[in-house]
A and B are shown apart, each in its own frame.
Chain A
Amino acid sequence: MSNVDLLRMTISEMAPKIKNREVSPVELTEAALSEADRLQPTLNSFIQILHEHAMDQAREAEAAISQGKYLGPLHGIPIGLKDNLATAGITTTVGSKVLANHVPEEDAEVVTRCRDAGAIIIGKENLEEFAAGATSNNPHYGAVHNPWGLDHVPGGSSGGGGANVAAGVTFMSLGTDLGGSVRLPGTFCGVVGLKQSYGRVSQRGLMVTSFNGDHIGPMTRSVADSALVLQILAGNDPLDPSTVPVPVPDYSTYLGQSLKGLKMGVPSNHYFEMLDAEVESAVRGSIATLAELGAELQEVSLPMMEYIGAMRISAMADGVVTHEPFLKAKREDYSSDTFYRTVAGQFVLGKDYSKSLRVQRLIQEDYARVMQQVDFLVTPTAPVAAPRIDAKHVVINGKEHRVRGPGSGIISRFTSPFNHVGLPAITVPCGVSHLGLPIGVQFITASFEEGMLFRVSDSYEKVSPSQGLRPATAVGI
């Protein structure tokens, strides 16, 4: 098999070959680095490619495996890390000029778990400045380009990772998701993006995070890979009080199970309003497919979603406090979009912050009620396919909406609610637009029911119209 054929595999396909020593981690990593270098001028998906570091890890992996010390499915697999995940001794910029030379002393907990699993970290990936947006048009490190259409955004804020997984440069990229920043690159780049339950995975070492609702999750080329990665990342972290000591099941046992008899909730409000007609058509097609697979459709109502915009109020205040150390000392190092969007938070009154959190509770109760009635929910992941990099607005139903900066938020309209309520959500490709840009469908289950999430999304993925589709820019192309 050629190196390109190897790089196009999923982790689930590659892992047995590494375990059985059919494929060398050193050769695989060399191939991944070679393609990373070749595609970097086109995709601009990395802030830093870690050649020496990766080769050292690969040689270590090869030696260990040759001695029979195989660690598991991530051993010897080239992966990427969003550059807001702390890596000890390796510059971690958070996509900013402010932290351009910041070198953490410790790895983030998820990085430690990936290293302990034997993964090969080939680079730190490009992202929206301070992970504060949905495009990955980074003003300091350059825009990331979508492999499906180079003039289009890959989504954000974990756009570098989405582009890399889609193009075949990395087998998995770890991103972070505060309002959709793993799932939006997932849908725009035609890959699987997972935001697990709040409390399932440690956030320790996620830099410049917001206070309420951030998650670390993987982008992968298949649902099975997503399950495999979560198996490694999930679990209580005694040093992160946001994690919960809920046992981690064997997620692989949920794959391949029938959907017959499962109740599929389709929201009657919010999620099918204000979206592009092609996206709606693709997602409704997914719903029909799920019904053919045996799921029973049930319309559900979420009346408190009328107030979901109130969550922006607490997010504004949280954001300005997160950035306070930098805003005063280094305001000139911020882009204007990020600066003015962030600094607006200083005007939020305490009582309004309290109202926002109380509304959050009411919205959580709505979803708790609905999740008693159904096994999973289906929604579009984003209202549009990937906008152009130079677009300041997207047009939906004849109305213009800002793509980034103050007053923006339309692109994360369907993803951010699940950050606020903490439910696990995954995006799976479900077709392409007339421009050949991917469209994603989002599945949601109850808290800590990632097993059900993988069961549903794995079944759907096998019959998705996106099966076999590849981007125009990828390894070997």
Chain B
Amino acid sequence: MSIPNETLKAMIRDYNGLELSDEELELVRPELESYFAELKKMEGLDLSDIFSGRLMNLSD
């Protein structure tokens, strides 16, 4: 999966993000590629029926 720079720039514009030039977007791409690779791996997982493991902080 690859997202074109135009889409990334639109996300920045429409969601009040931090502006990045085309050259800077290329520097960010390794992180995005990791993100997309992990999303692809998760495609086979059913995550619909999972609840939080957060601890309830009970008083002593």
* B18 and A328 contacting across the interface, CB-CB below 8 Å: yes
Whether A205 is near chain B, meaning CB under 8 Å from some CB there, is: no
**Given A331-B18, A336-B27, A341-B31, A361 and B38 touching (CB < 8 A)?**
no
* A312 and B35 contacting across the interface, CB-CB below 8 Å: yes
Additional A-B contacts beyond A355-B42, A407-B33 (9; CB < 8 A): A241-B57, A243-B57, A245-B58, A307-B42, A340-B31, A344-B31, A352-B39, A406-B30, A409-B34
**Given A244-B57, A347-B11, A312 and B52 touching (CB < 8 A)?**
no
Which residues of A are in contact with B by a Cβ distance under 8 Å? 199, 236, 241, 243-245, 306-307, 309-310, 312-313, 316, 327-328, 331, 336, 340-341, 343-348, 352, 354-355, 357-362, 364, 402, 405-407, 409
Measured CA separation A327–B19 after assembly (Å): 11
* A310 and B31 contacting across the interface, CB-CB below 8 Å: no
Task: Kindly list chain A residues whose C-beta atoms are within 8 Å of the C-beta of B12.
Answer: 346
Q: Which residue from chain B places its CB closest to the CB of A341 in the assembled complex?
A: B31
Task: Kindly list chain B residues whose C-beta atoms are within 8 Å of the C-beta of A336.
Answer: 27
Measured CA separation A364–B31 after assembly (Å): 24
Measured CA separation A262–B24 after assembly (Å): 53
Which residues of B are in contact with A by a Cβ distance under 8 Å? 3, 8, 11-12, 15, 17-18, 20, 24, 27-35, 37-39, 41-42, 45, 47, 50-53, 55, 57-60
3 shortest A-B CB distances, which residue pairs? A407-B30, A344-B31, A406-B30
* B18 and A327 contacting across the interface, CB-CB below 8 Å: yes
Measured CA separation A331–B59 after assembly (Å): 42
**Given A199-B55, A359-B42, A361-B52, A309 and B47 touching (CB < 8 A)?**
no
Measured CA separation A347–B8 after assembly (Å): 7
Task: Kindly list chain A residues whose C-beta atoms are within 8 Å of the C-beta of B28.
Answer: 340, 343-344, 347, 406
* B41 and A407 contacting across the interface, CB-CB below 8 Å: no
Task: Kindly list chain B residues whose C-beta atoms are within 8 Å of the C-beta of A313.
Answer: 35, 38-39
**Given A309-B37, A346-B18, A347-B8, A359 and B45 touching (CB < 8 A)?**
yes
Q: Which residue from chain B places its CB closest to the CB of A362 in the assembled complex?
A: B50
Task: Kindly list chain B residues whose C-beta atoms are within 8 Å of the C-beta of A364.
Answer: 53
* B59 and A245 contacting across the interface, CB-CB below 8 Å: yes
Grouping DSSP codes into helix (H, G, I), strand (E, B) and loop, the A interface class, with mixed when no group exceeds half, is helix
Measured CA separation A351–B47 after assembly (Å): 11
Task: Kindly list chain A residues whose C-beta atoms are within 8 Å of the C-beta of B38.
Answer: 307, 309-310, 312-313
Q: Smallest Cβ distance from A201 to chain B, in angstroms?
A: 15
Q: Smallest Cβ distance from B19 to chain A, in angstroms?
A: 9
Measured CA separation A151–B9 after assembly (Å): 41
Task: Kindly list chain B residues whose C-beta atoms are within 8 Å of the C-beta of A407.
Answer: 30-31, 33-34
**Given A245-B58, A407-B30, A407-B34, A357 and B18 touching (CB < 8 A)?**
no
* B57 and A361 contacting across the interface, CB-CB below 8 Å: no
Task: Kindly list chain A residues whose C-beta atoms are within 8 Å of the C-beta of B60.
Answer: 236, 245
* B42 and A348 contacting across the interface, CB-CB below 8 Å: no
**Given A245-B58, A352-B35, A309 and B24 touching (CB < 8 A)?**
no
- Between A and B, 28 residue pairs with Cβ closer than 8 Å are A244-B57, A245-B57, A245-B58, A245-B60, A309-B41, A313-B35, A313-B38, A340-B31, A341-B31, A346-B11, A346-B15, A347-B3, A347-B28, A347-B35, A348-B35, A352-B39, A354-B47, A359-B42, A359-B47, A361-B50, A361-B52, A362-B45, A362-B47, A362-B50, A406-B27, A406-B29, A407-B33, A409-B34
Measured CA separation A233–B14 after assembly (Å): 45
Task: Kindly list chain B residues whose C-beta atoms are within 8 Å of the C-beta of A309.
Answer: 34, 37-38, 41
Measured CA separation A292–B58 after assembly (Å): 42
* B41 and A310 contacting across the interface, CB-CB below 8 Å: yes
Q: Smallest Cβ distance from A169 to chain B, in angstroms?
A: 36
Task: Kindly list chain B residues whose C-beta atoms are within 8 Å of the C-beta of A344.
Answer: 28, 31-32, 35
* B27 and A340 contacting across the interface, CB-CB below 8 Å: yes
Task: Kindly list chain A residues whose C-beta atoms are within 8 Å of the C-beta of B18.
Answer: 327-328, 331, 343, 346
Measured CA separation A213–B29 after assembly (Å): 25
* A343 and B20 contacting across the interface, CB-CB below 8 Å: yes
* B35 and A340 contacting across the interface, CB-CB below 8 Å: no
* A347 and B32 contacting across the interface, CB-CB below 8 Å: yes
Q: Smallest Cβ distance from B40 to chain A, in angstroms?
A: 11
